[in-house]
Amino acid sequence: MKAFVVERYGDADTVRASDVPDPKAGAHDVLVRIHAASVNPVDLKIRDGDLKAILPLRAPFVLGNDLAGTVVAVGARVTRFAVGDEVYAHPDQNRMGTFAELIAIHEDDVATKPATLTMAEAASIPLVGLTAWQALVERADLRPGQKVLIHAGAGGVGTIAIQLAKHLGASVATTASASKTDVVKSLGADVVIDYQKQAFEAILHDYDVVLDTVGGETLDKSLRVLKPGGKVVSVAGPPDPAFAREIGANPVIRLAIAALSFRIRRRVRRRQVTYSYLFMKASGDQLRELAALIDAGIIRPVVDSVFDFDQTREALAHLEQGRTKAGKVVVRMK
């Protein structure tokens, strides 16, 4: 089959179109013919080798973390799916590879595609939808009447997180450039901070939750908007010891992770708030929850642009060069 492969860790030149063997479905796997896949910032980090310490992959490997497609074969013990089913999924981190014509994926990580979406729209959802769900529902336990700040509201995670937070009954503030204000307001944002002209930390106060997708100084400043007992969940900040335990890191990696997060953990203690690093997990069950919300019209995908499969490198460059206006970049197979 055709696939886009990372030949070695590096930059854009390390990703090549290649012929690779067709995957085989194990007993609990479904084999999916991929109709569309989407591009995520994590794909660039994986390609560059930035995540080798926590996600070791031996090159060459197929890149890509989101898919929508049709089941073409099922393993002997599969019970939830049949040939011909239209599905969407984020594969487990050890089985990524959606920039390809086919993928074998455990049935627990797969869900029926939202009926109201095209394949391209559905492919834009899994990674960002699961990230928003696990941050706001699982980690933050966001409740009606609470206030949440969602950074980069026009980004892939932000566009879904705003809608999910509003569904959960929260008041939502977000950061975005002036040109994207209308987009995030249309998704339900109550307060929009133009990060290019305004200091969000000087305007927002007494927030219950911050979803940080930026890291660095933005994460540091986010602590100032939280009230005592507030929570910051970050997908861009330093991993914390809880994450090291979760992935079963060896003692050397645990020490390194503890050192990386020492400063932020000290600061949150002083401010009487909590910090949690989120590395999203695959979950077919949560994708089914999201599909119900999508088909009910509560959440809608935001797709920035669609590239043909043979333009996958261009799709990655479109994201890397910051040319997206809002939402996700999608690759569509012919």
Q: What is the C-alpha separation between 192 and 172, in angstroms, rounded?
A: 9
For the chain, report the end-to-end CA distance as a whole number of angstroms.
Answer: 14
Mean pLDDT of 212-230: 97
Q: Are 311 and 39 in contact (CB under 8 A)?
A: no
pTM over 0.85: yes
Of 302, 40, 298, which Cα lies nearest the Cα of 163? 298
For the stretch 191-216, pLDDT in tens is 999 999 999 999 999 999 999 999 99
Residue 153 tokens, joined: 């509201």
Percent of the chain past pLDDT 90, that is, above it, reads 92
Q: What is the C-alpha separation between 4 and 101, in angstroms, rounded?
A: 10
Q: What is the C-alpha separation between 259 and 203, in angstroms, rounded?
A: 32
- The structural domains of the chain, ordered by start, are 2-125+301-332 (3.90.180.10), 127-277 (3.40.50.720)
Which of helix, strand or coil describes residue 250?
coil
For the stretch 14-51, pLDDT in tens is 999 999 999 999 999 999 999 999 999 999 999 999 88
Q: What is the C-alpha separation between 31 and 71, in angstroms, rounded?
A: 6
The pLDDT assigned to 331 comes to 98
Residue 243 tokens, joined: 């994450």
Residue 253: which H helix or E strand, with range? helix 251-260
Residue type, 99: F
Of 163, 213, 172, which Cα lies nearest the Cα of 190? 172
